[in-house]
Amino acid sequence: MARDKRPYAQIDVGWHMNPKWFQVERSLRDAMPDAMPDALLHALQDAKQLHITSILYSAQARWDGMFPVAAVKSFARSTYEEAVTALFEVGMWINHPGGMAEIRHFLKHQPSSTEMEEASERAKKAANARWENAERNAPSNANRNASGNAEKRREEKSINTRPTDENANAFSRPDVKEIFDYFTDSLKKLGVTRLPGQNATNGTAIRRLLDTDKRTVTQIKAAIDFAHNDPFWKANILSLSKLRAQYEQLRLKAQQQNSSPQQKQNDAAHDRWALARANAAKQRNGGDAA
């Protein structure tokens, strides 16, 4: 969040509990001996409103604690002249000629006008320096950004379109093509119209399922069947990259469902992943896969 640049005054959190307010109240009681309690309360509120208004007025005008009394009375909507007198009597205000007054210890708590001018000048110089540096560096920054963007585009293009032995030719493999067709046919049965294409991204996802993750075609088809028949997963497995990313979760979920009390004795038979893995092992060992 950007820093608020509006002028402000610092108010002590103990301002309301300042012992001088008890002195102000005593002064008001002496000046208004016949006043009702409500009138005394309103006069004390007037004094507090006058004091806080004078601080804000002087801070905004950068007058180092000086202010015109009549203007502050008008802004504070003061109705009790006794409140003004009480502030002078207890020393919270100091009287000056020409209808002016001074807030006691103003510069002890607030920056002076000189300090504020110096801070403003430093900020201007810093801003000018940033602009000058930006203008000097603009050509090199533009070239650097253009070079970086071009490199990023080349990388993206290489991932999706650059012919490589592994990615571009993935669909020339029968097992990759078989899984791709099976996946898209399953999506069609779900009514999905935006089907995946035979691009490097999808080819890579299938190839890595087979070669990197060591999944068989039967296991991958089993994952597709389970995902697209499950109320939750069928809305979430709409791409081959998502199928690969969520394969383990699909397998574990299927095992969990197959471990219901009615099926505990037949876990191995109902765990299609385990069955497919066993068949693959038999094929490698030259046994009967049927």
Amino acid in the structure at residue 272: R
Q: Check residue 162 and give its pLDDT.
A: 46
> Rounded to whole angstroms, how far apart are CA atoms 146 and 164?
27
For residue 156, the surrounding DSSP H or E stretch is helix 113-160
pTM tops 0.85, yes or no: no
Residue with tokens 């540096």: 133
Give pLDDT < 50 ranges for the chain.
159-164, 265-270, 288-290
Instruction: Kindly report, residue by residue over 16-30, the tens digit of the pLDDT.
Output: 899 999 999 999 999
> Rounded to whole angstroms, how far apart are CA atoms 21 and 252?
73
Q: Check residue 7 and give its pLDDT.
A: 80
> Rounded to whole angstroms, how far apart are CA atoms 290 and 25?
102
For residue 279, the surrounding DSSP H or E stretch is helix 272-284
Q: Check residue 166 and give its pLDDT.
A: 54
Q: Check residue 283 and give its pLDDT.
A: 67
> Rounded to whole angstroms, how far apart are CA atoms 183 and 170?
16
Residue with tokens 């070239």: 143
